[in-house]
Structure 1
Amino acid sequence: MKLLFLACLSPKTGNHTTAERIRSHIESAGHTCELRDAAAFQSPAEVANLISRHPPFEGALAIHLHRAGSLLLDIHVPFGVIFGGTDINEDVKVEQKRVVMEQVLLKARFAVAFTDKLKEEAELFLLSQSSKIYVQPQGIQTEVSEKFHWAEFLRSSGVSSEPVDELHVFLLVCGLRRVKDPLYLVEMFSEWHRENPLNVLVVIGPRIDPVFTVEVEAVVKKAAGVFLAQERSQRELHAAMKRCFTVVNSSVSEGMSAAILEAMDLGVPVLARDIPGNAAIVHHEFTGLLYSSPQEFVHQSQRLLSDHDLRDRLVRNGKRYVEEHHCLKRERETYQRLVDTLRCA
Structure 2
Amino acid sequence: MKLLLLACLSPKTGNNTTAERIRSHIESAGHTCELRDAAAFQSSAEVADLISRHPPFEGALAIHLFRAGSLLLDIQVPFGVIFGGTDINEDVKVEQKRVVMERVLLKARFAVAFTDKLKEEAKLFLLSQSCKIYVQPQGIQTEVSEKFCWTEFLRSSEWHRENPLNVLVVIGPRYLFSNSGVRQKIDPVFSVEVEAVVKKTAGVFLAGARSQRELHAAMKRCFTVVNSSVSEGMSAAILEAMDLGVPVLARDIPGNAAVVHHESTGLLYSSPQEFLHQSQRLLSDRELRERLVRNGKVYVEEHHGLGQERETYQRLVDTLLSA
Whether TM-score is above 0.5 comes out as yes
Partner SS, residue 287 of structure 2: helix
Q: Which residue of 1 aligns with 2:181?
A: none
Distance change (3 Å), C-alpha of 1:198 and 1:311: closer
In structure 2, the CA distance between the partners of 1:83 and 1:191, relative to structure 1 (3 Å rule), is farther
| Contact 1:192 1:298 (8 Å CA) reproduced | no
In structure 2, C-alpha distance between the alignment counterparts of 1:278 and 1:152, rounded to whole Å: 30
Q: Distance in 1 between matches of 2:207 and 2:33?
A: 33
Deviation at 1:211, TM superposition (A): 4.7
Structure 1 residue 344 displacement after superposition: 1.0
Alignment of 1:52-201 (within 5 A): 52-151=52-151, 154=154, 198-201=165-168
TM-score (ref. length: structure 2):
0.92
Contact 1:44 1:72 in 2 (8 A): yes
Shift of 1:198: 4.4
Kept in 2: contact 1:3–1:34 (CA 8 A): yes
Cα offset, 1:195, TM superposition: 9.2
> Which deviations, in whole Å up to 9, do the C-alpha atoms of 1:125-172 show, x marking residues without a partner?
1113111000000000000012223445645xxxxxxxxxxxxxxxxx
Three-state SS of the structure 2 residue aligned to 1:202 is strand
Is the partner of 1:199 in helix, strand or coil?
coil
Assess, with a 3 A threshold, how the Cα gap between structure 1 residues 39 and 191 changes in structure 2: closer, same or farther.
Answer: farther
**Within 2, Cα distance between the matches of 1:96 and 1:261?**
33
Q: Aligned-pair distance for 1:271?
A: 0.3
What is the CA-CA distance between 1:231 and the residue it aligns to?
1.8
Structure 1 residue 196, shift from structure 2 partner: 6.1
Q: Sort the Cα spacing of 1:154 and 1:261 in 2 relative to 1 into closer, same or farther, 3 A.
A: farther
The SS at the match of 2:167 is strand
Conserved 8 A contact 1:26-1:33 = yes
Percent of paired sites with the same residue: 91
Structure 1 residue 209: Cα displacement? 3.1
Q: Deviations over 1:154-194 (max 9, x none)?
A: 45xxxxxxxxxxxxxxxxxxxxxxxxxxxxxxxxxx99989
The C-alpha deviation readout for 1:242-264, integer Å capped at 9, x for no partner, is 11000000001000000000000
Contact 2:169 2:206 in 1 (8 A): yes
Aligned counterpart, 1:11? 11
RMSD: 1.9
- Match of 1:112, SS state, is strand
With the length of structure 1 as denominator, give the TM-score of the two structures.
Answer: 0.87
SS across alignment from 1:224: coil
Q: Quick check: 1:10–1:208 contact (8 Å CA) kept in 2?
A: no
Which whole-Å CA distance do the structure 1 matches of 2:308 and 2:141 have between them? 12
Instruction: State the partner residue of 2:169.
Output: 202
Distance in 2, Cα, partners of 1:77 & 1:132: 17
Deviations 1:47-105 (A, max 9, x none): 10111111110000000001100000000000000001111110111111111111000
Structure 1 unmatched ranges of 5 or more: 156-189
Q: Distance in 2 between matches of 1:64 and 1:43?
A: 16
SS at match of 1:284: coil
Distance 1:302 1:32 in 2: 50
Q: Would the aligned equivalents of 1:110 and 1:133 in 2 still touch at CA under 8 Å?
A: yes
> Shift of the alpha carbon at 1:210?
4.4
**1:218 positional shift:** 2.2
C-alpha deviations, 1:13-72, integer Å up to 9, x for none? 110100000001101111111100001111111110111111110000000001100000
What per-residue deviation string (whole Å, max 9, x for no partner) do you get for residues 212-254 of structure 1? 3333222211112211112211111101101100000000100
Higher mean C-alpha deviation, range 204-213 or range 274-283: 204-213
Is contact 1:205–1:232 with CA below 8 Å preserved after alignment?
Answer: yes
Between the aligned partners of 1:113 and 1:244, the Cα distance in structure 2 is 30
Match status 1:331 vs 2:306: no
Matched residues in 2 for 1:41 and 1:204: separation? 28
Tell me if the contact between 1:194 and 1:224 (Cα under 8 Å) persists in the aligned partners.
no
Unmatched runs of 5 consecutive residues or more in structure 2: 174-184
> Which range moved further: 213-222 or 190-199?
190-199
The count of residues paired between Structure 1 and Structure 2 equals: 311
Contact 2:153/2:205, CA 8 A, preserved across alignment: no
Q: Deviations over 1:252-301 (max 9, x none)?
A: 10000000000000000000000000000000000000000011000000
In 2, are the aligned partners of 1:59 and 1:77 still within 8 Å (CA)?
yes
Cα distance change, pair 69–47 in 1 and its aligned pair in 2 (3 A): same
